[in-house]
Amino acid sequence: MSDHTTLANHIWQIADLLRGPYRPPQYERVMLPLIVLRRFDCVLAPTKDNVLAEYDKRKGGKFVDEAVDKLLNKAAGQRFHNHSRLTFEKLKGDPDNIEKHLVSYIKGFSANVRKIFDYFEFENEIEKMREANILFLVVRKFTEIDLHPDKVPNAQMGLVFENLIRRFNELANETAGDHFTPREVIRLMVSILFIKDDDLLSTPGTVRKLLDPACGTGGMLAEAQNYLREHHSAAKLYVFGQDYNKRAFATAASDMLMKHVDQNGGSDNIRYGDTLIDDQFKESPYDKFDYLLANPPFGVDWKKQQKEIENEHDKLGSAGRFGAGLPRVNDGSLLFLQHMISKFEPVQPEKQKHGSRLAIVFSGSPLFTGGAGSGESNIRKWVIENDWLEAIIALPESMFYNTGIGTYVWIVTNRKEKRRKGTVQLVDARDIWTAGGSEESTRSMGDKRRHLTGKQIAEVVKLYGRFKDEGNAKNFNNDDFGYTRVTVERPLRLRFHITDTAKAAFAAAFPDLHDDLDAIDNALGRETQSDWNTVWAKIGKLLLARKSRWSASAQKSFRSVFTQKDPAAAPVRLPQAGGRASSRAAACEPDPDLRDCENIPLTEDVDAYFKREVLPHLPDAWMDRTKDKIGFEINFNRHFYKYTPPRPLAEIDAELKRAEEEIMRLLQEVTA
């Protein structure tokens, strides 16, 4: 085969045999496991006899335990082996029983490969193909493809597998967004992730670790490796991933095994489990990473994990992963961000620890959802006040396969350049795009109707790298995104009026106060009075003279029954103030229905802002500073808003007239 694209096309043609029993989005259920099997079969062929001899010597064909597993791996010269006497070529020899032989062949693999096929749930597909009478045909076609490393080197095999994964995920665009990120978005993220590390990565012997805690089929890990291979071939990048989607996990784990990714002797660089409650990377040295990449699911709730996450938050606080806060249960995106930050390597150059950088894809929600004091706001506050947020890049809409919403790439690091310290850069790339689902096709792919070309990726990276205030990029101080949420109070204003209906209602609730009520009625009369303070003072003197003491509940009920709110009435003074307090806040009782909040930028003096912006409109208002909350939000539209003046009325009228004339013309054609 001349190149990886030609080989991928050849394999792709085999999928036509599945048409009928399978719909195109389901092809990957068969094709990916069989590609893995055929590759492993070819890789293991030269050492097959050695493995069988060692197997017979050690176990005599019985169950292989972990110790023997390692010995057989050594005999195979790989991180996996197969001790079955079958091969792909031999599977063709008994078409009538091929399903039994294929299952037996898979069970002959080492534990790490068997685990992968358990997650592929491939035995179900074997039975389905057997029932459809296509199993033998498909297996025979795969025996015609030579995937031996001498013919298809590891790097090329990796590209073939990535190419096919991308195609299958594009076919399954109704769900692909859960675990598949468009390749050009990954390229952009990876380019920015490594952009300032040329000196570090070009140092001979450099070894770095990268984690994707929501790795899906491993696209981000593969692209990161491709970048290092193209730009810093001397550096070693160990990649790790975790995912909770069984097929995605199996695909990513297969990809890593097929490409012979060196993991310092380990073979479990891709791990299965729910990242939020079952972190698979807690043990040193795989608990901290130099780089982190992720595209967590957009807007997915965490109800199933809620109890365990809240327990970690409450018990461990800042010593755990989620100490900064918990977002609303209907979107766990910011939980992934906190998890990734917990994996940051400290900045200790003397110990060869150079800090960490992460890039993560979010929808717009994590930018501004949640007011001051909410979990989302507290997480943003924590990230920005620690000076970790380096940049946010707004991507065009319709870039992903299962959603047309706008997306944003956050760059977060604990090792900012000196010029970026104390700042956050916003890059607006929403208008940088090319129509079509990819560079290879101008057709839409599900909701993906736009893509970034190589030149456009370079354009965005340059906007980021220049770090200048220009049309599509702006730099802000950290405090520019913060605000103080101040509670604004206005006085309660009540008018007093005794009516027979109100009197009957109060007497029914407090029959023992009937005589006092009559006395108040006689003393104050039935006229409406607009100063509750004066009314209550008179009532107090009257009750004192009658030697009557009312309970607090009776006093509260009396005011509720005989008063109504009236903006023209006098403010109600607080009893303890006696009208002598120096401030309105101390003197007046606030009206809960008129209570409001004002978000005052952290860069503003609160008192000066209040006098300038609020008092001219609400001269009787005051601030209750005991309720202040600090919040953070990032509003792209506010910072990049461009005013578009309305069209002239004459132009609109002319357009309407033309439309009316066209409608009349069409009606005349119909009636004619």
| Domains assigned to the chain | 1-172 (1.20.1260), 174-482 (3.40.50.150), 494-587 (no CATH)
CB 497, CB 528: distance < 8 Å: yes
578: pLDDT confidence band, cut at 50, 70 and 90? very low
Query: What pLDDT is recorded for position 255?
Result: 80
Average pLDDT score over residue span 524-550: 95
Query: What pLDDT is recorded for position 457?
Result: 95
- Regarding beta strands 207-212 and 291-294, do their DSSP bridges make them parallel or antiparallel, or are they unpaired? parallel
Query: What pLDDT is recorded for position 316?
Result: 96
150: pLDDT confidence band, cut at 50, 70 and 90? confident
Average pLDDT score over residue span 119-141: 94
Among 176, 653, 120, smallest CA distance to 445 is for 176
pLDDT at residue 63 greater than cutoff 70: no
* Rg (the chain; Cα; Å): 35
User: For the ranges 55-59, 178-182, 207-211, which has the lowest average pLDDT?
Assistant: 178-182
CA dist., res. 242 & res. 252, Å (int): 9
What's the first-to-final CA gap in the chain, in angstroms? 66
More confidently predicted of 376 and 181: 376
Q: Which residue has tokens 């792919």? A: 445
Query: What pLDDT is recorded for position 160?
Result: 81
User: For the ranges 55-69, 292-306, 639-653, which has the lowest average pLDDT?
Assistant: 55-69
CB 326, CB 375: distance < 8 Å: yes
Percent of the chain scored above 70 by pLDDT? 93
- CA-to-CA separations, 460 to 184, 435, 436, 470, in angstroms, rounded: 12, 17, 19, 13
CB 163, CB 284: distance < 8 Å: no
pLDDT at residue 483 greater than cutoff 80: yes
pLDDT digits (tens, 9 = 90+) for 370-391: 999 999 999 999 999 999 999 9
pLDDT at residue 177 greater than cutoff 50: no
Handedness of CA 575, 576, 580, 583 (dihedral sign): negative
More confidently predicted of 287 and 584: 287
User: For the ranges 60-69, 90-99, 236-245, 580-589, which has the lowest average pLDDT?
Assistant: 580-589
CB 344, CB 355: distance < 8 Å: yes
pLDDT at residue 587 greater than cutoff 90: no
254: pLDDT confidence band, cut at 50, 70 and 90? confident
User: For the ranges 81-90, 134-143, 264-273, which has the lowest average pLDDT?
Assistant: 264-273
pLDDT at residue 159 greater than cutoff 80: no
Average pLDDT score over residue span 358-362: 97
CA dist., res. 214 & res. 220, Å (int): 10
Query: What pLDDT is recorded for position 403?
Result: 80
- Collapse the DSSP code of 550 into the 3-class scheme (helix H, G, I; strand E, B; otherwise coil) and give the result: coil
DSSP string, 91-134: HTT-GGGHHHHHHHHHHTB-HHHHHHHHHHTHHHHHHHHHHTT-
Average pLDDT score over residue span 222-246: 88
3-state secondary structure 164-196: HHHHHHHHCCCCHHHCCCCHHHHHHHHHHHCCC
Non-local (6+) Cβ contacts of 358 within 8 A are 193, 291, 292, 293, 294, 340, 341, 344, 410, 411, 412, 413
Query: What pLDDT is recorded for position 389?
Result: 98
- CA-to-CA separations, 162 to 137, 223, 232, 245, 268, in angstroms, rounded: 25, 9, 21, 18, 20
Query: What pLDDT is recorded for position 59?
Result: 67
Among 211, 196, 543, smallest CA distance to 344 is for 211
CB 396, CB 414: distance < 8 Å: no
CA dist., res. 212 & res. 510, Å (int): 68
Report the amino acid identity of residue 333. Answer: S
CA dist., res. 554 & res. 560, Å (int): 10
409 pairs with which residues across the strands? Answer: 361, 393
- Count of CB atoms situated within 10 Å of the CB of 523: 12
CB 241, CB 211: distance < 8 Å: yes
The crossing angle, in degrees rounded to 10, of helices 111-120 and 122-131 is 60
- Collapse the DSSP code of 480 into the 3-class scheme (helix H, G, I; strand E, B; otherwise coil) and give the result: helix
Query: What pLDDT is recorded for position 267?
Result: 56
pLDDT at residue 265 greater than cutoff 60: no
- Collapse the DSSP code of 435 into the 3-class scheme (helix H, G, I; strand E, B; otherwise coil) and give the result: strand
CB 498, CB 523: distance < 8 Å: no
pLDDT digits (tens, 9 = 90+) for 309-320: 999 999 999 999
More confidently predicted of 550 and 6: 550
176: pLDDT confidence band, cut at 50, 70 and 90? very low
Query: What pLDDT is recorded for position 583?
Result: 54
Average pLDDT score over residue span 34-48: 93
Report the amino acid identity of residue 273. Answer: G
Report the amino acid identity of residue 212. Answer: D
- Regarding beta strands 236-243 and 423-428, do their DSSP bridges make them parallel or antiparallel, or are they unpaired? unpaired
Percent of the chain scored above 90 by pLDDT? 67
How does the average pLDDT of the chain come out, rounded? 89
pLDDT at residue 393 greater than cutoff 80: yes
CA dist., res. 180 & res. 346, Å (int): 30
441: pLDDT confidence band, cut at 50, 70 and 90? low
The greatest distance separating any two alpha carbons of the chain, rounded to the nearest whole angstrom, comes to 114
Query: What pLDDT is recorded for position 383?
Result: 98
Average pLDDT score over residue span 14-18: 91
Query: What pLDDT is recorded for position 173?
Result: 54
Take residue 32 and report the two structure tokens written for it. Answer: 């990916």
- Collapse the DSSP code of 5 into the 3-class scheme (helix H, G, I; strand E, B; otherwise coil) and give the result: helix
CA dist., res. 606 & res. 350, Å (int): 44
Handedness of CA 257, 259, 262, 265 (dihedral sign): positive
- CA-to-CA separations, 197 to 110, 318, 352, 408, 552, in angstroms, rounded: 38, 30, 14, 23, 70
- Collapse the DSSP code of 663 into the 3-class scheme (helix H, G, I; strand E, B; otherwise coil) and give the result: helix
- Collapse the DSSP code of 423 into the 3-class scheme (helix H, G, I; strand E, B; otherwise coil) and give the result: strand
Average pLDDT score over residue span 294-302: 90
